[in-house]
Amino acid sequence: MIAKVSQIYFPVHGDQRGSLIAIEHNIDIPFSVLRTYYIYGTKQGISRGLHAHKRLKQVLIALSGSVTILCEYIKKKEYYLLDSPNKGLLIEGMVWREMYNFSKNCVLLVLANEHYDEQDYIRNYEEFISMTSRNVQ
Ligand code: T46
């Protein structure tokens, strides 16, 4: 795994009726949630994301269907498949991310530790590379 990205497996409370997952803030995920959003109805062949955040921490969960997440941090790239509601991907600040290969039925839930702030986005890849290479020197 690359630094600043980690996979989380949530415990499933299952019985003969089906399954239930509880996410307790500061226990199952390492922050309190200030914002929740979800991405769905993504058209085939579309990529989303293509940015990094300066400070924001988020956990991504495919509640339904599947999606691949590409993460990049200091010249290291890794791909993660989210294909189950018990799998979460924690992405911290300064990680470039791209979400692609959305299945038709994908509902991607995102839990964030901050309110929406466009100033926290780095949408230019060259700027991201220059900021992260400065950090390692
Ligand atoms: C991220 C990935 C995983 C809001 O008004 N409030 C919000 O909380 C968010 C997240 C977005 N928006 C608006 C801003 C844009 O006009 O919704 C529109 C689409 O947002 P964006 O193009 O940033 O969506 P994605 O799917 O490229 O990225 C989103 C998040 O923005 C981002 O933080 O990490 O999902």
Instruction: Kindly report the backbone phi and psi dihedral angles of residue 65, in degrees, each rounded to the nearest multiple of 5, phi listed first.
Output: 70, -155
- Look at residues 105, 101, 104, 78 and name the one whose alpha carbon lies nearest to residue 91: 78
Q: What is the pLDDT of residue 135?
A: 65
Whether the full predicted model's pTM is greater than 0.75, yes or no, is yes
Round to whole Å and give the CA distance between 36 and 59.
Answer: 10
Round to whole Å and give the CA distance between 8 and 135.
Answer: 26
13 labelled catalytic: no
- Of the residues 13, 25, 51, 53, only one is catalytic, namely 51
Q: What is the pLDDT of residue 137?
A: 47
pLDDT digits (tens, 9 = 90+) for 97-129: 999 999 999 999 999 999 999 999 999 999 999
pLDDT digits (tens, 9 = 90+) for 16-71: 999 999 999 999 999 999 999 999 999 999 999 999 999 999 999 999 999 999 99
Q: Residue 133 Cα, ligand 1 centroid: separation in angstroms? A: 25
Tokens of 22: 């509880």
User: Do residues 2 and 76 touch, judged by C-beta distance below 8 A?
Assistant: yes
Q: Residue 66 Cα, ligand 1 centroid: separation in angstroms? A: 19
Q: What is the pLDDT of residue 11?
A: 97
* Residue corresponding to tokens 């290291």: 76
Q: What is the pLDDT of residue 100?
A: 98
Q: What is the pLDDT of residue 133?
A: 86
Q: How confident is the model at residue 1 (pLDDT cuts 50, 70, 90)?
A: confident
Q: Is 35 in the pocket of ligand 1 (CB under 6 A)?
A: yes
Residues 6+ apart with CB under 8 A from 28: 8, 10, 22
Nearest residue (by CA) to ligand 1, atom 30, is 49
Mutate to test the pocket of ligand 1, among 46, 48, 55, 99 (most ligand atoms within 8 A of CB): 48
* Residue corresponding to tokens 């803030």: 25
State the pairing for strand pair 96-100/87-91.
unpaired
